[in-house]
Structure 1
């Protein structure tokens, strides 16, 4: 599904990614862990096509197509979803307005008909109920006045409605209490743990991985993947930290 080969990228002229190679097959969940400043968020932004992140070498393909040649909206229409570490607020735009516009834009790009207002409201109510958000909150402006946990749950509702093929989740567990962590982790499993979907999950902590249970864990340090393993690697990092691995 996603294949990254020797990917190098710079931000403001500074090289951050220094040769990332990674392959994610359908049905797999990959976790990336690593110290602050190692390039984890940069990798997510490069894959999503955020402006200001320049790829200087290497390649990334999605379903065999050149991902880096696509505009951000084209990557979204192809089935890629980016979950932010700090979800932004969009005053003046309601959740339902934002999501219906985004979903129908993607459906049109795929040659599908727009979802009617009634069908969309039923879908959004179903997803919101599963993530513990009321429809009153769905009608509020995007993330405005939401707590940290509500913003992350709202992002999971967005993911459930958009129904991507590949979810890139940048520290989705950041700022969550124990209850919210369980809700978000269960949401990832429910929406994305399917044979035709995949997840690239960026996190600092093993606690989320106890819920999501990745197939592979990778350690990113100094702009490179320095070690890969199974779920047991996350427990090792929790016990011993990054000092030995990242040295």
Structure 2
């Protein structure tokens, strides 16, 4: 059983006009086996939360705490956070020319586990995960994300998720840019990873369509850098029908 605890987290970014507050006191707890969906309008701070937890240097944590199984995440380097069991599927995965997917995946697995996986078992595991995600085997020889379509990039993120087996996975708008078929395949991969690893998930999205495939246990409405309302799956359905206007009006009142 693992737990990610976010306590009164405040984060700012540096701009030409000086520091700009983005997160304004976020409290959130995610346990193993739970799926938490964060929904909110553009600019509300959802991605800032994801990247702050992962350790992106652009974001300055001015106050608050983040703990994974009682260990202070904010005192860890990015690679230490990954080894501790945190995983981030990025909204815009970066290209890494010259590094094959196969080499990237095995290097990442070695870094996280502290030893290289047995080759025969590893190849079988990779091939099985790629089959599940309907990825051609030639994909493994391509450079990481170079020339990938949006769907290929997102499948590659979920391939990493399945192979690296984190304790807590943060998925930043994994549904963006996916057609219906790709959305279904990616969602199946997330559900499969949750079932096989028991990981906890923080799913960031604008829309409810992915929540038809990945059923959330909790839904959090994110507005103006904080959680404005919390509930169950029914809250997502209400957002689909009503939008965010009532939250935005309250935030500016």
Q: 1:74-153 alignment to 2 at 5 Å?
A: 74-108=80-114, 113-153=115-155
Report if the CA contact (8 A) 2:165-2:197 is conserved: no
Report if the CA contact (8 A) 1:226-1:246 is conserved: no
Q: 2:58 is matched with which residue?
A: 52
Q: Distance in 1 between matches of 2:74 and 2:196?
A: 25
Report if the CA contact (8 A) 1:11-1:54 is conserved: yes
Deviations 1:140-170 (A, max 9, x none): 1011121111111111111111111111000
Deviations 1:85-140 (A, max 9, x none): 111111100001011001001111xxxx4213322211111111100111101111
Shift of 1:205: 0.6
Q: 1:209-224 alignment to 2 at 5 Å?
A: 209-224=211-226
Q: 1:239 is matched with which residue?
A: 241
Report if the CA contact (8 A) 1:7-1:19 is conserved: yes
Q: Which 10-residue stretch deviates more, 63-72 or 192-201?
A: 192-201
Unaligned runs of 5+ in 1: none
Report if the CA contact (8 A) 1:3-1:62 is conserved: yes
Q: 1:68 is matched with which residue?
A: 74
After TM superposition, the score normalised by the length of structure 1 is 0.96
Q: Distance in 1 between matches of 2:212 and 2:196?
A: 18
Q: 1:4-23 alignment to 2 at 5 Å?
A: 4-12=6-14, 13-23=19-29
After TM superposition, the score normalised by the length of structure 2 is 0.94
Report if the CA contact (8 A) 1:94-1:139 is conserved: yes
Q: Aligned residue pairs: how many?
A: 243
Deviations 1:54-102 (A, max 9, x none): 1111111001111111111000001111001111111100001011001
Q: Which 10-residue stretch deviates more, 115-124 or 138-147?
A: 115-124
Q: Distance in 1 between matches of 2:144 and 2:211?
A: 28
Shift of 1:196: 3.6
SS state at 2:213 partner: helix
Q: 2:38 is matched with which residue?
A: 32
Shift of 1:45: 0.3
Q: Distance in 1 between matches of 2:116 and 2:78?
A: 21
Q: CA RMSD in A?
A: 1.1
SS state at 1:44 partner: helix
Q: Distance in 1 between matches of 2:205 and 2:129?
A: 24
Report if the CA contact (8 A) 1:32-1:218 is conserved: yes
Q: Which 10-residue stretch deviates more, 126-135 or 36-45?
A: 126-135
